[in-house]
Amino acid sequence: MLPVATLMTICTLPGQTVVVSQFNTAFRTDLGLTKQSLSLAYLIGTLTASLPLTYVGKVSDNLGPRVTTAIVVAGFTLACLTVASAHNIAALTLGFFMIRFLGQGALGMLGSHLLALWFERRLATVESIKHAGMSLAGAASPLVVVWLISATTWRSAYAILGITVAVLILPLVATLFRNRPEDIGQHLDNEPPEYHDRWHDIHEAKVAPEAQVAFTLKQARSTLAFWCVSLPGILSGLVGTAMLFHIQPILEGAGVEGFVRAGALSATWWSIVLFISIVVSGPIADRVHPGILLPISGLLTALSIVIMALAQSEIAVIASMAVFGAAQGIAISTSGPTIARYFGRKHHGSIRGFMTTLMVAGTALGPYLIAIGEQLSGGSFRPPLLAAAAVAVLIAALSAKTTTPPTPQE
Protein backbone atom coordinates (compact mmCIF):
# COMPACT_ATOMS: atom_id res chain seq x y z
CA MET A 1 0.00 0.00 0.00
CA LEU A 2 2.99 2.33 0.23
CA PRO A 3 2.86 3.30 -3.50
CA VAL A 4 -0.89 3.92 -3.24
CA ALA A 5 -0.49 6.07 -0.12
CA THR A 6 2.36 7.97 -1.77
CA LEU A 7 0.30 8.76 -4.87
CA MET A 8 -2.63 9.80 -2.66
CA THR A 9 -0.35 12.28 -0.88
CA ILE A 10 1.08 13.63 -4.15
CA CYS A 11 -2.46 14.17 -5.44
CA THR A 12 -3.20 16.54 -2.55
CA LEU A 13 -1.00 19.13 -4.31
CA PRO A 14 -3.88 21.08 -5.93
CA GLY A 15 -5.09 21.70 -2.37
CA GLN A 16 -1.66 22.53 -0.95
CA THR A 17 -0.35 26.06 -0.54
CA VAL A 18 2.73 25.29 -2.64
CA VAL A 19 0.38 25.07 -5.66
CA VAL A 20 -2.31 27.55 -4.56
CA SER A 21 0.35 30.24 -4.01
CA GLN A 22 1.31 30.09 -7.69
CA PHE A 23 -2.18 31.45 -8.45
CA ASN A 24 -1.81 34.34 -5.95
CA THR A 25 -1.19 37.08 -8.51
CA ALA A 26 -3.75 35.65 -10.96
CA PHE A 27 -6.45 35.54 -8.27
CA ARG A 28 -5.80 39.12 -7.18
CA THR A 29 -5.58 40.49 -10.72
CA ASP A 30 -8.56 38.69 -12.24
CA LEU A 31 -10.91 39.02 -9.27
CA GLY A 32 -9.74 42.44 -8.09
CA LEU A 33 -8.60 41.33 -4.63
CA THR A 34 -6.11 42.81 -2.18
CA LYS A 35 -3.54 40.72 -0.31
CA GLN A 36 -5.67 41.04 2.83
CA SER A 37 -8.97 40.06 1.16
CA LEU A 38 -7.38 37.08 -0.59
CA SER A 39 -5.79 35.99 2.69
CA LEU A 40 -9.14 36.36 4.44
CA ALA A 41 -10.83 34.16 1.83
CA TYR A 42 -8.09 31.57 2.34
CA LEU A 43 -8.51 31.85 6.12
CA ILE A 44 -12.27 31.32 6.01
CA GLY A 45 -12.05 28.50 3.50
CA THR A 46 -9.22 26.68 5.28
CA LEU A 47 -10.46 27.24 8.83
CA THR A 48 -13.94 25.91 8.05
CA ALA A 49 -12.29 23.04 6.15
CA SER A 50 -10.49 21.97 9.32
CA LEU A 51 -13.71 21.45 11.29
CA PRO A 52 -15.07 18.26 9.63
CA LEU A 53 -11.73 16.44 9.41
CA THR A 54 -12.16 14.58 12.70
CA TYR A 55 -15.40 13.14 11.32
CA VAL A 56 -13.60 12.00 8.16
CA GLY A 57 -11.30 10.02 10.44
CA LYS A 58 -14.30 8.46 12.18
CA VAL A 59 -15.88 7.58 8.83
CA SER A 60 -12.63 5.92 7.81
CA ASP A 61 -12.56 3.95 11.07
CA ASN A 62 -16.08 2.68 10.29
CA LEU A 63 -16.19 2.29 6.49
CA GLY A 64 -12.51 1.74 5.91
CA PRO A 65 -10.09 4.03 4.05
CA ARG A 66 -10.89 2.48 0.64
CA VAL A 67 -14.51 3.63 0.42
CA THR A 68 -13.69 6.90 2.16
CA THR A 69 -10.89 7.64 -0.31
CA ALA A 70 -13.18 7.09 -3.32
CA ILE A 71 -15.68 9.60 -1.94
CA VAL A 72 -13.00 12.14 -1.07
CA VAL A 73 -11.27 11.96 -4.46
CA ALA A 74 -14.54 12.48 -6.35
CA GLY A 75 -15.28 15.49 -4.16
CA PHE A 76 -11.77 16.87 -4.56
CA THR A 77 -12.05 16.86 -8.34
CA LEU A 78 -15.31 18.80 -8.04
CA ALA A 79 -13.54 21.19 -5.66
CA CYS A 80 -10.84 22.03 -8.23
CA LEU A 81 -13.54 22.69 -10.83
CA THR A 82 -15.25 25.00 -8.33
CA VAL A 83 -12.06 27.08 -7.95
CA ALA A 84 -11.65 27.15 -11.72
CA SER A 85 -15.14 28.58 -12.19
CA ALA A 86 -14.98 31.21 -9.41
CA HIS A 87 -15.84 34.76 -10.54
CA ASN A 88 -16.05 36.52 -7.17
CA ILE A 89 -14.57 36.26 -3.70
CA ALA A 90 -17.53 34.28 -2.30
CA ALA A 91 -17.17 31.54 -4.93
CA LEU A 92 -13.41 31.50 -4.45
CA THR A 93 -13.84 31.12 -0.68
CA LEU A 94 -16.13 28.15 -1.27
CA GLY A 95 -13.52 26.68 -3.59
CA PHE A 96 -10.81 27.20 -0.96
CA PHE A 97 -12.98 25.39 1.60
CA MET A 98 -13.45 22.42 -0.72
CA ILE A 99 -9.84 22.00 -1.86
CA ARG A 100 -8.46 22.45 1.66
CA PHE A 101 -11.00 20.09 3.25
CA LEU A 102 -10.96 17.33 0.64
CA GLY A 103 -7.40 17.68 -0.68
CA GLN A 104 -4.90 19.03 1.81
CA GLY A 105 -6.93 17.71 4.75
CA ALA A 106 -8.94 14.56 4.06
CA LEU A 107 -6.91 12.95 1.26
CA GLY A 108 -3.61 13.65 2.99
CA MET A 109 -4.91 12.30 6.29
CA LEU A 110 -6.21 9.13 4.62
CA GLY A 111 -2.79 8.43 3.10
CA SER A 112 -1.15 8.56 6.53
CA HIS A 113 -3.99 6.60 8.13
CA LEU A 114 -3.59 3.84 5.53
CA LEU A 115 0.11 3.43 6.31
CA ALA A 116 -0.59 3.29 10.07
CA LEU A 117 -2.87 0.31 9.39
CA TRP A 118 -0.18 -1.52 7.39
CA PHE A 119 3.01 -0.71 9.31
CA GLU A 120 4.15 -0.45 12.90
CA ARG A 121 7.85 -1.12 13.51
CA ARG A 122 8.92 0.61 10.26
CA LEU A 123 6.21 3.27 10.20
CA ALA A 124 8.55 6.28 10.33
CA THR A 125 10.62 4.85 7.48
CA VAL A 126 7.65 4.24 5.17
CA GLU A 127 6.15 7.61 6.11
CA SER A 128 9.43 9.20 5.07
CA ILE A 129 9.30 7.38 1.72
CA LYS A 130 5.74 8.58 1.16
CA HIS A 131 6.59 12.18 1.98
CA ALA A 132 9.80 11.97 -0.06
CA GLY A 133 7.69 11.15 -3.09
CA MET A 134 5.46 14.08 -2.23
CA SER A 135 8.49 16.35 -1.94
CA LEU A 136 9.82 15.36 -5.35
CA ALA A 137 6.44 16.07 -6.90
CA GLY A 138 6.24 19.29 -4.92
CA ALA A 139 9.64 20.37 -6.23
CA ALA A 140 8.41 20.16 -9.80
CA SER A 141 4.88 21.44 -9.23
CA PRO A 142 5.48 25.23 -8.82
CA LEU A 143 7.29 25.63 -12.13
CA VAL A 144 4.88 23.22 -13.86
CA VAL A 145 1.87 25.14 -12.57
CA VAL A 146 3.36 28.51 -13.58
CA TRP A 147 3.96 27.08 -17.06
CA LEU A 148 0.45 25.61 -17.20
CA ILE A 149 -1.10 28.96 -16.27
CA SER A 150 0.92 30.78 -18.93
CA ALA A 151 0.18 28.12 -21.58
CA THR A 152 -3.59 28.13 -20.93
CA THR A 153 -5.37 30.23 -18.29
CA TRP A 154 -5.42 29.96 -14.54
CA ARG A 155 -8.98 28.57 -14.75
CA SER A 156 -8.03 25.86 -17.23
CA ALA A 157 -4.96 25.04 -15.16
CA TYR A 158 -7.00 24.35 -12.02
CA ALA A 159 -9.53 22.26 -13.94
CA ILE A 160 -6.73 20.15 -15.43
CA LEU A 161 -5.24 19.57 -11.97
CA GLY A 162 -8.56 18.34 -10.56
CA ILE A 163 -9.30 15.96 -13.42
CA THR A 164 -5.76 14.55 -13.18
CA VAL A 165 -6.35 13.60 -9.53
CA ALA A 166 -9.42 11.52 -10.40
CA VAL A 167 -7.70 9.82 -13.33
CA LEU A 168 -4.74 8.79 -11.16
CA ILE A 169 -6.44 7.68 -7.93
CA LEU A 170 -9.87 6.20 -8.69
CA PRO A 171 -8.56 3.28 -10.81
CA LEU A 172 -6.21 2.32 -7.95
CA VAL A 173 -9.04 2.44 -5.43
CA ALA A 174 -11.03 0.07 -7.65
CA THR A 175 -8.17 -2.42 -8.12
CA LEU A 176 -5.18 -2.40 -5.76
CA PHE A 177 -6.43 -0.63 -2.64
CA ARG A 178 -6.89 -2.76 0.53
CA ASN A 179 -7.78 -1.45 3.97
CA ARG A 180 -5.59 -3.68 6.18
CA PRO A 181 -3.00 -6.42 5.68
CA GLU A 182 -5.28 -8.82 7.57
CA ASP A 183 -7.85 -8.47 4.78
CA ILE A 184 -5.61 -10.48 2.45
CA GLY A 185 -3.87 -12.72 4.99
CA GLN A 186 -0.79 -10.54 5.38
CA HIS A 187 0.61 -8.89 8.47
CA LEU A 188 2.10 -5.66 9.79
CA ASP A 189 5.37 -4.49 8.22
CA ASN A 190 5.16 -7.28 5.60
CA GLU A 191 7.28 -9.51 7.81
CA PRO A 192 6.98 -13.27 8.39
CA PRO A 193 4.55 -13.97 11.22
CA GLU A 194 7.22 -15.84 13.18
CA TYR A 195 9.37 -12.69 13.12
CA HIS A 196 7.26 -11.27 15.93
CA ASP A 197 5.85 -13.90 18.25
CA ARG A 198 2.96 -11.73 19.26
CA TRP A 199 1.72 -11.62 15.64
CA HIS A 200 1.93 -15.38 14.89
CA ASP A 201 -1.47 -16.42 16.22
CA ILE A 202 -2.99 -13.24 14.82
CA HIS A 203 -1.81 -14.14 11.32
CA GLU A 204 -3.26 -17.65 11.55
CA ALA A 205 -6.65 -16.25 12.59
CA LYS A 206 -6.50 -13.43 10.00
CA VAL A 207 -7.71 -10.88 12.55
CA ALA A 208 -6.31 -7.51 13.44
CA PRO A 209 -3.75 -7.48 16.24
CA GLU A 210 -4.76 -6.03 19.55
CA ALA A 211 -2.95 -2.78 19.96
CA GLN A 212 -0.55 -2.53 22.85
CA VAL A 213 -2.32 0.74 23.60
CA ALA A 214 -5.76 1.92 22.51
CA PHE A 215 -6.32 5.56 23.43
CA THR A 216 -9.60 7.14 22.44
CA LEU A 217 -9.48 10.63 20.95
CA LYS A 218 -10.60 12.13 24.26
CA GLN A 219 -7.92 10.25 26.18
CA ALA A 220 -5.19 11.14 23.69
CA ARG A 221 -5.83 14.86 23.63
CA SER A 222 -5.86 14.98 27.45
CA THR A 223 -2.18 13.99 27.54
CA LEU A 224 0.79 16.33 27.45
CA ALA A 225 2.46 14.03 24.93
CA PHE A 226 -0.25 14.67 22.32
CA TRP A 227 0.35 18.42 22.43
CA CYS A 228 4.14 18.10 22.58
CA VAL A 229 3.99 16.08 19.36
CA SER A 230 1.20 18.04 17.64
CA LEU A 231 2.19 21.66 18.24
CA PRO A 232 5.43 21.59 16.19
CA GLY A 233 3.42 20.34 13.19
CA ILE A 234 0.72 22.95 13.74
CA LEU A 235 3.26 25.78 13.86
CA SER A 236 5.09 24.36 10.84
CA GLY A 237 1.85 24.43 8.88
CA LEU A 238 0.93 27.91 10.08
CA VAL A 239 4.26 29.55 9.32
CA GLY A 240 5.12 27.52 6.24
CA THR A 241 1.75 28.23 4.66
CA ALA A 242 2.12 31.92 5.40
CA MET A 243 5.57 32.13 3.82
CA LEU A 244 4.55 30.11 0.76
CA PHE A 245 1.25 31.93 0.31
CA HIS A 246 2.90 35.35 0.44
CA ILE A 247 6.13 34.40 -1.32
CA GLN A 248 5.26 36.47 -4.41
CA PRO A 249 4.47 39.73 -2.53
CA ILE A 250 7.49 39.16 -0.23
CA LEU A 251 9.77 38.93 -3.27
CA GLU A 252 7.99 41.84 -4.94
CA GLY A 253 8.49 43.94 -1.81
CA ALA A 254 12.19 43.06 -1.84
CA GLY A 255 12.41 44.47 -5.37
CA VAL A 256 13.08 41.14 -7.09
CA GLU A 257 12.38 41.26 -10.81
CA GLY A 258 10.39 38.31 -12.16
CA PHE A 259 9.01 37.67 -8.68
CA VAL A 260 6.40 35.16 -9.93
CA ARG A 261 9.04 32.82 -11.32
CA ALA A 262 11.33 33.53 -8.35
CA GLY A 263 8.52 32.51 -6.00
CA ALA A 264 8.10 29.23 -7.87
CA LEU A 265 11.85 28.64 -7.70
CA SER A 266 11.88 29.28 -3.93
CA ALA A 267 9.06 26.76 -3.46
CA THR A 268 10.98 24.27 -5.59
CA TRP A 269 14.07 24.54 -3.39
CA TRP A 270 11.87 24.11 -0.31
CA SER A 271 10.55 20.86 -1.77
CA ILE A 272 14.03 19.61 -2.74
CA VAL A 273 15.43 20.14 0.75
CA LEU A 274 12.23 18.74 2.27
CA PHE A 275 12.80 15.57 0.22
CA ILE A 276 16.39 15.23 1.45
CA SER A 277 15.37 15.92 5.04
CA ILE A 278 12.60 13.32 4.97
CA VAL A 279 14.82 10.64 3.41
CA VAL A 280 17.49 11.22 6.06
CA SER A 281 15.27 11.77 9.11
CA GLY A 282 12.71 8.99 8.46
CA PRO A 283 14.96 6.06 9.44
CA ILE A 284 16.45 8.18 12.24
CA ALA A 285 12.96 8.77 13.67
CA ASP A 286 12.53 4.99 14.01
CA ARG A 287 15.53 4.98 16.38
CA VAL A 288 15.81 8.41 18.03
CA HIS A 289 13.43 9.74 20.67
CA PRO A 290 10.95 12.42 19.45
CA GLY A 291 11.94 14.58 22.43
CA ILE A 292 15.26 15.11 20.64
CA LEU A 293 14.10 15.46 17.03
CA LEU A 294 11.09 17.77 17.53
CA PRO A 295 13.07 20.54 19.33
CA ILE A 296 15.65 20.45 16.51
CA SER A 297 12.82 20.91 14.02
CA GLY A 298 11.40 23.80 16.04
CA LEU A 299 14.72 25.66 16.24
CA LEU A 300 15.32 25.23 12.50
CA THR A 301 11.81 26.59 11.89
CA ALA A 302 12.65 29.67 13.98
CA LEU A 303 15.88 30.15 12.02
CA SER A 304 14.09 29.94 8.67
CA ILE A 305 11.53 32.55 9.76
CA VAL A 306 14.27 34.96 10.88
CA ILE A 307 16.04 34.59 7.52
CA MET A 308 12.76 35.29 5.70
CA ALA A 309 12.05 38.33 7.89
CA LEU A 310 15.44 39.85 7.08
CA ALA A 311 15.52 38.79 3.41
CA GLN A 312 16.37 41.46 0.84
CA SER A 313 17.09 39.22 -2.14
CA GLU A 314 15.93 36.13 -3.99
CA ILE A 315 18.87 34.12 -2.61
CA ALA A 316 17.91 34.94 0.98
CA VAL A 317 14.30 33.87 0.39
CA ILE A 318 15.49 30.62 -1.19
CA ALA A 319 17.79 30.02 1.81
CA SER A 320 14.88 30.60 4.19
CA MET A 321 12.67 28.11 2.37
CA ALA A 322 15.51 25.56 2.24
CA VAL A 323 16.04 25.73 6.02
CA PHE A 324 12.29 25.47 6.51
CA GLY A 325 12.25 22.36 4.30
CA ALA A 326 14.85 20.75 6.57
CA ALA A 327 12.80 21.60 9.65
CA GLN A 328 9.53 20.39 8.19
CA GLY A 329 11.06 17.11 7.03
CA ILE A 330 12.13 16.27 10.60
CA ALA A 331 8.69 17.19 11.96
CA ILE A 332 6.86 15.10 9.35
CA SER A 333 9.05 12.04 9.90
CA THR A 334 8.66 12.25 13.66
CA SER A 335 5.16 13.43 14.57
CA GLY A 336 2.90 11.09 12.57
CA PRO A 337 4.59 7.81 13.54
CA THR A 338 4.87 8.96 17.17
CA ILE A 339 1.11 9.55 17.33
CA ALA A 340 0.44 6.01 16.03
CA ARG A 341 2.92 4.44 18.45
CA TYR A 342 1.87 6.41 21.50
CA PHE A 343 -1.90 6.07 21.06
CA GLY A 344 -2.47 2.84 19.07
CA ARG A 345 -4.29 1.77 15.89
CA LYS A 346 -7.82 1.20 17.18
CA HIS A 347 -8.87 4.87 17.14
CA HIS A 348 -6.06 6.11 14.94
CA GLY A 349 -8.41 7.54 12.31
CA SER A 350 -10.19 9.76 14.84
CA ILE A 351 -6.96 10.84 16.53
CA ARG A 352 -5.20 11.52 13.25
CA GLY A 353 -8.27 13.33 11.98
CA PHE A 354 -8.28 15.65 15.00
CA MET A 355 -4.55 16.26 14.64
CA THR A 356 -5.08 17.09 10.97
CA THR A 357 -7.91 19.45 11.94
CA LEU A 358 -5.49 21.39 14.15
CA MET A 359 -2.82 21.48 11.45
CA VAL A 360 -5.24 22.65 8.77
CA ALA A 361 -6.55 25.32 11.16
CA GLY A 362 -2.96 26.47 11.56
CA THR A 363 -2.54 26.71 7.79
CA ALA A 364 -5.75 28.76 7.72
CA LEU A 365 -4.60 31.31 10.26
CA GLY A 366 -1.01 31.72 9.03
CA PRO A 367 -1.50 33.70 5.79
CA TYR A 368 -4.16 35.97 7.29
CA LEU A 369 -2.24 36.73 10.49
CA ILE A 370 0.91 37.56 8.53
CA ALA A 371 -1.08 39.71 6.06
CA ILE A 372 -2.71 41.65 8.90
CA GLY A 373 0.66 42.00 10.62
CA GLU A 374 2.11 43.34 7.37
CA GLN A 375 -0.72 45.86 7.08
CA LEU A 376 -0.38 47.02 10.71
CA SER A 377 3.39 47.32 10.27
CA GLY A 378 3.04 49.74 7.39
CA GLY A 379 3.63 47.23 4.62
CA SER A 380 6.49 45.23 6.20
CA PHE A 381 6.39 41.46 6.71
CA ARG A 382 9.30 41.63 9.16
CA PRO A 383 7.53 42.25 12.54
CA PRO A 384 4.92 39.47 12.23
CA LEU A 385 7.56 37.01 11.00
CA LEU A 386 9.88 37.78 13.91
CA ALA A 387 6.98 37.27 16.33
CA ALA A 388 6.35 33.87 14.74
CA ALA A 389 10.03 32.97 15.20
CA ALA A 390 9.74 33.67 18.93
CA VAL A 391 6.73 31.34 19.17
CA ALA A 392 8.69 28.65 17.34
CA VAL A 393 11.42 28.78 19.98
CA LEU A 394 8.84 28.36 22.77
CA ILE A 395 7.24 25.36 21.08
CA ALA A 396 10.67 23.80 20.53
CA ALA A 397 11.24 24.03 24.29
CA LEU A 398 7.87 22.39 24.99
CA SER A 399 8.48 19.53 22.56
CA ALA A 400 11.64 18.62 24.46
CA LYS A 401 9.30 17.34 27.20
CA THR A 402 7.82 14.64 24.91
CA THR A 403 7.51 11.31 26.77
CA THR A 404 5.40 8.16 26.32
CA PRO A 405 1.97 8.81 27.86
CA PRO A 406 0.74 6.53 30.66
CA THR A 407 -1.68 3.79 29.59
CA PRO A 408 -5.26 5.06 29.96
CA GLN A 409 -7.44 3.61 32.68
CA GLU A 410 -10.68 1.95 31.59
pTM above 0.75, yes or no: no
Residue 328 clears pLDDT 60, i.e. is over it: yes
Average pLDDT of span 106-124: 82
Burial 326-349 (b: 16+ CB within 10 A, else e): bbbbbbbbbbbbbbbbbbbbbbbb
CA distances 240 to 182, 198, 294, 401, Å, are 38, 41, 16, 24
Q: Point out the least confidently predicted range of 77-81, 95-99, 221-225, 353-357.
A: 353-357
Residue 184 clears pLDDT 80, i.e. is over it: no
What are the φ and ψ backbone dihedral angles of 286, each rounded to 5 degrees? -75, -10
* Domains of the chain as residue ranges with CATH: 2-399 (1.20.1250.20)
Residue 234 clears pLDDT 50, i.e. is over it: yes
Write the DSSP assignment of 63-98 as a string of letters: H-HHHHHHHHHHHHHHHHHHHHT--SHHHHHHHHHH
Span 64-83, pLDDT tens digits: 889 999 999 999 999 999 99
Span 156-183, pLDDT tens digits: 999 999 999 999 999 999 998 887 777 7
Task: Look at residue 200 in the predicted model and tell me its pLDDT.
Answer: 46
Closest CA to 86 of 159, 147, 166: 159
Most confident of 140-144, 170-174, 217-221: 170-174
Give the C-alpha separation, 116 to 349, whole Å: 9
pLDDT band at 347 (very low <50, low <70, confident <90, very high): confident
pLDDT band at 302 (very low <50, low <70, confident <90, very high): very high
Give the C-alpha separation, 266 to 378, whole Å: 25
Number of other CB atoms surrounding residue 62 within 10 Å: 10
Task: Look at residue 91 in the predicted model and tell me its pLDDT.
Answer: 95
Summary mean pLDDT of the chain? 85
Span 383-406, pLDDT tens digits: 999 999 999 999 999 999 888 888
pLDDT band at 117 (very low <50, low <70, confident <90, very high): confident
Give the C-alpha separation, 169 to 178, whole Å: 13
Closest CA to 330 of 303, 283, 294: 294
Amino acid at site 337: P
Average pLDDT of span 215-236: 88
pLDDT band at 211 (very low <50, low <70, confident <90, very high): very low
